[in-house]
Amino acid sequence: MAVTVNLVSPSGPDGATVELPPEIFSARVNLPLMHQVVVAQQAAARQGTHATKGRGAVRGGGKKPYRQKGTGRARQGSIRAPQFAGGGTVHGPVPRSYEQRTPKKMKAAALRGALSDRAAHGRVHVVTSFTDDDAPRTRDALSVLLAATGTTPSAAHLLVVTQPDDTVTWKSLRNVPGVHLLDAGQLNTYDVLVSDHVVFTEAALGQFLARSGFPGATAPQASEAPTPPQAEDAES
């Protein structure tokens, strides 16, 4: 069943709606799958540059500190052994990659589940644009966000999905705390789940659906509000 959301413009809701494809926004929500994908994404973000020095890498300690026998002390071969202060580390961390292999179909299914969860709770919104003209205005953009989501960035975390060449949207919202701007091609499960509301621009939604590769994904069709019948001409 398709999900229908209101299409919000800078002048306010005008009665137009957008139907979201059910293959993406009404899909099955698989919590273990989303958890696995998010863990893999966070693991891939780790640098993995941690390292410690073993006894062979610590400077000094090339000479035996004292003779083997006759001192009454335990035999030692180097003052850089792990039991000495300033010695090497035993089984310390070494540089490594934390990347986990996640199939593309798993990532796509997890993203569908995350978007479906947000859509089921009425937290997916579509706007035509954030300003009436080509000049960036943060005040106008915040007004559009308030009209679309019913909340403000100070009270909720908002994810705004737009196009990379939409400079007006980027300049209007990039410095607003609580608003995370994301290119439609970089939409991912983690950013959807960590946000309270997901707001698409109409163009970004079409781009996302066109490049998603999901079954039945098509560009959104906005339906205009029905116009009242016109009065017949008096001469007729």
Question: 73: how many CB neighbours lie within 10 A of its CB?
Answer: 9
State whether residue 179 is helix, strand or coil: strand
Model confidence over 178-225: pLDDT tens digits?
999 999 999 999 999 999 999 999 999 999 998 876 444 444 555 555
Return d(Cα 183, Cα 166) in angstroms, integer.
10
Return d(Cα 216, Cα 120) in angstroms, integer.
19
| Residue 134 binned pLDDT confidence (cut-offs 50, 70, 90) | confident
**What residues contact residue 167 under an 8 Å CB cut-off, 6+ apart?**
136
| Residue 155 binned pLDDT confidence (cut-offs 50, 70, 90) | very high
Residue whose C-alpha is closest to residue 78's, from 99, 59, 95, 96: 59
Whether 140 shows a pLDDT value over 90: the answer reads: yes
**What residues contact residue 58 under an 8 Å CB cut-off, 6+ apart?**
80, 86, 87, 88
Residue 215: the pLDDT is: 43
Whether 16 shows a pLDDT value over 90: the answer reads: no
Residue 227: the pLDDT is: 53
Whether 147 shows a pLDDT value over 80: the answer reads: yes
Residue whose C-alpha is closest to residue 79's, from 65, 89, 68, 92: 65
